[in-house]
Amino acid sequence: MRAVDYARYSSDMQSAASLEDQARLCLERIRREGWSHLRSYHDRAITGATRLRSAFQQLIEDARRGQFDVVVAESLDRLSRDQEDVAHLFKQLNFTGVRILTLSEGWISELHVGLSGTMGALYLKQLAEKTRRGLRGRVEAGRSGGGNSYGYDVVSKSDADGEAERGLRRKNDQQAAIVIEIMTAYAAGKSPRAIAKALNTRTVPGPSGGTWCPSAINGNAERGTGILNNELYIGRLVWNRLRYMKNPTTGKRQSRLNPPEDWIIKDVPELRIVPLDLWDKVKARQMVTTRDTRPDKAKAATGQPAFWEQQRPRYLLSGLMKCGCCGANYTKYGANRFACAASRDRGTCTNKLTIRGDELEAAILAGLQVRLMEPARFEQFAEAFVAETNRQRMALSAAKAGTQAALTRVERQIKRLVDAIVDGADALPLNTKLKELDAEKNRLAAEPQEAPDEKPLLHPALAITYRDRVANLALALYDEQDGRQAFERLRSVIEEVRLTPVNGELAIELRGDLAEILKIGALGHQGADTAGKSSLQIKVVAGRGFEPLTFRL
């Protein structure tokens, strides 16, 4: 048995030694069983409520490749605490023939998946409720419910019993002066972008210690974020304004606005920084300059969807462009041009060059078509195609062999029962078993006919298929029927587009997944010659055998 171990601990506040302790116990069990230990998968300081863990994902991928036979962990909740993720992992490993052994539960079955997954989910829910209860008690006492705001320092203090008093803070006079300066400048008509540039010119450290950006100042008035909207500056502590939910698709947390009746508001006059008259001037200017983007009010006023509901990437590369000098995003600058946000908003980057979105798209697509037609790219494509086809053929042959062996075994059992009846055994109790075996025999006998025929090792039209996919990449994006689907999928497989000034022009560097880009090219080409084979070809080149590539255009 080829064995691997998995270990995880949840947060930076836990001891990293727990990881080594888990691994040591797992290795001891592997040695007692006489198995060969291949490798360890360890995730450090990351919750088990998400499957977006590097070692966890690598374990699943290696299992798909048949690299080991059993996974050993301390307990099932080390692998995951999410019901869906536990079931997903079990199904994935079961499909590849990999078993799970935990030191707490033993060999994992469907029963463990159901019960342990439920207990893990309940544990997370109860932990969240207890944490919120403790935070609310702290807020009711006028203390911080977590985190800190610019303009204040966290106070470390112990009570009479030596226990740490948490949630205490005091005004930071230097930062408080900057807060008043920002409020005064905004009330006088200065924009958040101009304020940020002025602060960066003076090298005033931002809230996170870096540079200032307009969004840190402007924030969101409805959500109470940003310097201009933090009510703590007028001595009002607002807690539970937002709740956070995990997106099941991405695993990332997203905030939702709670109804005002659920907010906890406490007066803390000792923390007031901004005079009320200045605060009122800021709010008055915000009412004039800020567009109401709430869906209900926007729809009621115009009959149209709210502003943010209409926002979709107009350009293929929106949000994917990065400045090669500073790493900041390239954002909209005018109607259809893009510029470095650090240069435009903060004045901290020397890259002043801009580029039209449509021109950048055309350059990227043209560069892809030229570079992907190089012989080395086709050789990589063909190599991955052959490797994946071989793997599928071997898996299919193994499945057929297993089915044939099971069929032979059932036929022998049926023959033994029939011989027993002929020799005088009571047929009545054997009749039910004979019916079950006969039904199993019919099912197994039908499987080879239902299984797809083995595909040729190398399709004769492979070179034509590859050429057509590359040539049709641009057509797929602008196809009336499937264009939006291809548009979104191509965005998802492009890691980033880096724009770097070179001799007064922008050099373009694209990073993305070559195999997925080729797959998208197939959306725009369903020719009659390969219509019957296109589904297989699309599937086998979808990332198998390819690594994310970096090339200059």
Counting residues of the chain whose pLDDT is more than 90, the rounded percentage is 17
pLDDT band (50, 70, 90) for residue 545: very low
pLDDT surpassing 50 at residue 548: no
Query: Which residue's entry shows tokens 């994310």?
Result: 548
C-alpha to C-alpha distance for 427 and 441, rounded to whole angstroms:
20
Per CATH, is 2-125 categorized as 2.60.40.10? no
Q: Which residue has the higher pLDDT, 297 or 66?
A: 66
What tokens were used for 514? 């070559």
Domain boundaries of the chain, sorted by first residue: 2-125, 169-293, 375-396+456-552
Q: What is the mean pLDDT of residues 487-505?
A: 77
pLDDT surpassing 80 at residue 121: no
Maximum mean pLDDT: which of 350-354, 386-390, 482-486, 524-528: 350-354
Q: Which residue has the higher pLDDT, 514 or 404?
A: 404
Side-chain half-sphere exposure of 12, counting CA atoms within 13 A: 0
C-alpha to C-alpha distance for 330 and 326, rounded to whole angstroms:
11
pLDDT surpassing 60 at residue 14: no
pTM: 0.49
Contact 72, 78 (CB under 8 A): no
Q: What is the pLDDT of residues 66-93, one digit of tens each?
A: 999 999 999 888 888 777 788 888 888 9
pLDDT surpassing 60 at residue 297: no
Helix/strand/coil (H/E/C) assignment for every residue in 305-351: CCCHHHCCCCCCCCCCEEECCCCCEEEECCCCEEEEHHHHHHCCCCC
Report pLDDT for 524: 43
Q: In this structure, what DSSP letter does residue 326 have?
A: T
pLDDT surpassing 80 at residue 386: no
Report pLDDT for 164: 73
Alpha-carbon dihedral 367, 481, 513, 354, rounded to 10 degrees:
50
Report pLDDT for 550: 37
pLDDT band (50, 70, 90) for residue 278: very high
CA distances from 75 to 12, 208, 265 (A): 20, 38, 42
Q: What is the mean pLDDT of residues 145-171?
A: 81
- Closest-CA residue to 44 (of 53, 35, 32): 53
**Distinct helix (H) and strand (E) counts, the chain:** 19, 20
Report pLDDT for 310: 45
